[in-house]
Amino acid sequence: MDTKRKILHSRKKQQQEADGDITYSWICKNPSCRANVPLDDSYCKWCSCCVCHAFDKTNDPTLWLVCESEKPNDVEFCGLSCHVECAFRKDIVWVNATGNLMKLDGYFCCYSCGKVSDILGCWKKQLVAAKDARRIDVLCYRIELSYRLLDGTSRFSELHEIVKDAKSKLEVEVGPIDGPSARNNLGIVSRLPVAMQVQELSSFAIRRAEYWSTSVARGLVPAACRFDFIDVAPRQVILRLIEHSSAEERGVKGYRLWCDKKGETPEDDQFDTDLSRGEAQRMRILFSDLEPCKEYIFRVVSYTRAGVLGHSIAGCFTKSVEIFQRSGGN
């Protein structure tokens, strides 16, 4: 756990002990955490991935994506985290997403609450690890990860080209960096002929990213809202939108929703639902005619008089007909 989360974790445990909540909880199995987790929670939200629900004994923070505040007084985040690899598996890392309304390049979406955050911080952490790597397998993995995080970007094309150059130099020596020969190479980095060049490129990329961050407005994308899945059946999903407290202050007028099977690309002008703020606050939204045992992605944008403001995304699997019937569903 990083320092910030350790402090929060310590305060949470003290509060639980003071409130007498321990009786109604179970102890996290992570030796470095041991938090008291509410009985209703299937995993420890302090130390485990919100996608796969697993924890890492080393808990290397550079291999996690965290939903956290990106600006002062930001309250629209849940604080949960996921493995970078889990984020790739769930397609919640976005580069060069097409379309005017859904144009997101260089962001990731929190799997739990749907908040959209900048990916550049995680990308820089991979290059810092690559710059300091002593083993070849570690160097290869970190360069590969930084390459994948921005592969296809147009917004960060200059930064991506630097990593692409480092990747090419490495592959001359060790073969494909995502292949078994590189992944299992326990050799010492200093003995690799191109090691100095690769690590110098990593340092250069970090400096360019820091210069870019301070000299160009980053344009952070606010979250649109949160999703509450009320009912998930084999052929339909019922959900409601939970507004953020800042919606009125930001002048949000309404929300547009898309529902698509995972892997499909939504069209900007083919949204499934358009709701005013008042409707969104009181309505349950039904998506029907879905297929059983499929993963669906729900996207929402909030808009003001000036245009699109925020983006959020969430996903769920429709249930199996057989399991649904056995459990007493209609």
Interatomic CA distance for residues 104 and 111, integer angstroms: 16
Closest C-alpha among 179, 176, 151 to residue 164: 151
Interatomic CA distance for residues 237 and 58, integer angstroms: 38
Q: Is pTM beyond 0.85 here?
A: no
The token pair at 318 is 């429709």
Interatomic CA distance for residues 115 and 276, integer angstroms: 20
Closest C-alpha among 147, 138, 142, 132 to residue 184: 138
pLDDT values of the chain reduced to their tens digit, one per residue, 330 residues: 554 454 445 545 555 445 544 557 889 888 888 888 888 888 998 889 999 999 887 668 899 999 887 665 666 778 899 999 999 988 888 765 544 445 567 888 888 887 778 888 899 999 999 999 999 999 999 999 999 999 988 778 889 999 999 999 999 999 999 998 888 999 999 999 999 999 999 999 998 888 766 654 445 566 678 888 888 888 999 988 888 777 887 888 889 888 888 777 667 667 788 888 888 878 888 999 998 888 888 888 888 888 888 778 777 888 877 766 666 665
In sequence order, the 6+-apart residues with CB closer than 8 A to the CB of 232 are 238, 316, 317, 318, 319
In sequence order, the 6+-apart residues with CB closer than 8 A to the CB of 304 are 250, 251, 252, 253
Cα-based distances in Å from 249 to 75, 92, 283, 318: 13, 28, 22, 36
Interatomic CA distance for residues 240 and 115, integer angstroms: 16
Handedness of CA 162, 163, 167, 170 (dihedral sign): positive
Closest C-alpha among 47, 21, 55 to residue 36: 21
Closest C-alpha among 72, 71, 65, 142 to residue 107: 65
Residue count of the chain: 330
